[in-house]
Amino acid sequence: MHPDTTPQPAAPTAGLTEGQAEAEARRIIADAYRPTAYRDDTPLPARGDTPPVTQPGRPPMSQGATDASVLMLAGGATTAMVGGTAAVLMYLSQFGDPLVCGLVFGAPTALVLALARLTQHAKPAPDIHQHYTGPVYQDQRNVHTTTRGVWAKTNNHP
């Protein structure tokens, strides 16, 4: 048979009036564009036994670990940019001395590392909170110790 002469299935709107066919068409289109997901907006209880769920993205970390990872990412990007600049300059000049470029482009990295070491030692000491029940005696004297000589003699002075 010729493809133009094959019988077509009956249209689902056969026997419907013009208004009914329009309403059926609107219903079919609305069903096709209906969202496939549903968000439940009911409030969750404030407490419960359910553990927290890990969200996509960075894994959960403490604030200090998050700060350190951001610092490492920034340092890595900076190192890549400085190294790339040095490589491009050496290639374009065709005269770049690797030792001089290493000193010039390595100096900022050494400075950053030195500053990082200084800031580690500049952190304030943590507060100590002690909670006791009952009578407690605390002795908080400072003791100065000096040790001198070939044969060491230690003197403790309160």
Q: 105 lies in a domain? A: yes
Q: Which of 139, 138, 156 minimizes the C-alpha distance to 147?
A: 156
Q: What is the pLDDT of residues 96-112, one digit of tens each?
A: 777 777 777 778 888 88
Q: Is the dihedral of CA 66, 69, 74, 77 positive or negative?
A: negative
Q: How confident is the model at residue 1 (pLDDT cuts 50, 70, 90)?
A: very low
Q: 111 lies in a domain? A: yes
pTM of the model: 0.30
Q: 98 lies in a domain? A: yes
The predicted pLDDT at position 72 comes to: 92
Query: What is the percent of the chain with per-residue pLDDT over 70, rounded to a whole number?
Result: 85
Q: 95 lies in a domain? A: yes
Q: 81 lies in a domain? A: yes
The predicted pLDDT at position 102 comes to: 75
Q: 37 lies in a domain? A: no
Domain count, the chain: 1
Q: 48 lies in a domain? A: no
Containing structural domain, residue 114: 66-121
Burial 70-102 (b: 16+ CB within 10 A, else e): eeeeeeeeeeeebeeebeeeeeeeeeeeeeebe
Q: 158 lies in a domain? A: no
